[in-house]
Amino acid sequence: MVSLMKVAVIEGDGVGHEVIPPAVDVLKAAGLNFEIVPVEVGYGKWERTGRAMDESDLDVMRDCDCILFGAITTPSDPNYQSVLLRIRRELDLYANVRPFRSLNIPVDTPYVARQPFDFIIVRENTEGLYGGKEEIGEDRATSIRTITRKGSERIARIACKIAQERKNRLTIVHKANVLRSCSFFREVCIKVAQEHDIPFDEGLVDSMAYNLILFPHKYDVLVTTNLFGDILSDLSAALVGSLGLCPSANIGDKYALFEPVHGSAPDIAGRDVANPLAAILSARLMLEWAGEQEKAGLVQQAVDHVLEMGIKTADLGGHASTKEVSDAVVGYIANVRR
């Protein structure tokens, strides 16, 4: 564990400005010894300066231990390069780890799963269809999907490690019946699972989408490629009840970035109605990554308590503002530590 952790804090755009400050407050309330290094990147910066991120911003991030990231608005301009994809690639944050757990409180959301569930999607984060190898011509466009042995081995290893900690089963998700690059991914994952002595099964991504909705309680750790993991994560967020509840970790060997699964939500930005819990739970994942298990547990306890008290934002059918939910979480933590 590092003594004084340096955390690059990127609010980004839209609701990022509203949900990241509470996440920082939660880290402070939990007693983390850390230095905040604010970094401005994103659409707002692009509009102002013509660049969404500078090389020097990346250097600042490289000088930190980890990053707390809000969300960034992506314009449809084809010249705009995704900031987040670039950070993930430059810092080699190859594992996107997304835990999804059902709430144990009644929520007024469009869909509620019938049985409690608790699973983690481990998504390869640097290659596949998001690898950036693309060509666009007058009459055709091509995106190349590269899956490497190194990329598949390391993501499978992280997934096996998580499955081991949870003493449970790994599900390898692919489309090996159609895509040869998926057969390759599947074979590498099976080999790694066997080496780690992890029980595993597998599923085709389309039937996984179906099964996750009907039987989410049957799954524990899912490992999959970049695009499939992206899509299944949003589906899983709907199972939980709101994107506003889903945190994620982007992990590499050297750095890590923690961010809510949701985007900049321009439809609700600036109105103090965004759910801050996805960002707060991302801070919780940061604490876990930093080896601060006790502080992480306290943050989870605070979130559970606030939800049980019915202090909920509109996405969960509640009436509380971003600030009210944030203050309640911070207040609970401060109270327990007093």
Site for ligand NAI in 15-34 (CB under 6 A): 15, 19
Here the tokens at position 90 are 């430059």
> Within 43-82, which residues bind ligand NAI (CB under 6 A)?
71-74
Residue 206 designated active-site: yes
* Number of residues lying near ligand NAI (CB under 6 A): 21
Which one of ligand NAI, Mg ion, none is in contact with 15 (Cβ closer than 5 to 8 A by kind)? ligand NAI
Amino acid letter for position 37: V
Q: What Cα–Cα distance (Å) separates residue 107 from each residue in 19, 36, 173, 244? A: 21, 35, 30, 13
Active site residue 175: yes
Nearest residue relative to ligand NAI (C-beta): 263
Angle (CA) 30 33 35, round 5°: 115
230 contact, one of ligand NAI, Mg ion, none, CB 5-8 Å limit per kind: Mg ion
- Are the C-beta atoms of residues 1 and 286 closer than 8 Å to each other? no
Cβ proximity to ligand NAI: between 172 and 281 the closer is: 281
Q: Which residues contact 161 (CB under 8 A, 6 or more apart)?
A: 196
Binding mask of the shown chain, residues 97 to 136, with x at each position contacting ligand NAI by CB under 6 A? ----------------------------------------
Q: Per-residue b/e over 32-66, b at no fewer than 16 CB within 10 Å? A: bebeebebebbbbbbeeeeebbeeebbebbeebbb
Active-site residue, selected from the candidate residues 130, 219, 255, 332: 130
Say which of 63, 206, 210, 323 is annotated catalytic: 206
Subset of 258-297 contacting ligand NAI (CB under 6 A): 259, 262-268, 274-275, 278
Q: Residue 144 is inside which H or E element, if any?
A: none
- Please give the positions annotated as active site: 130, 175, 206, 230, 234
Q: Which residues bind ligand NAI (CB under 6 A)?
A: 15, 19, 71-74, 84, 243-244, 259, 262-268, 274-275, 278, 315
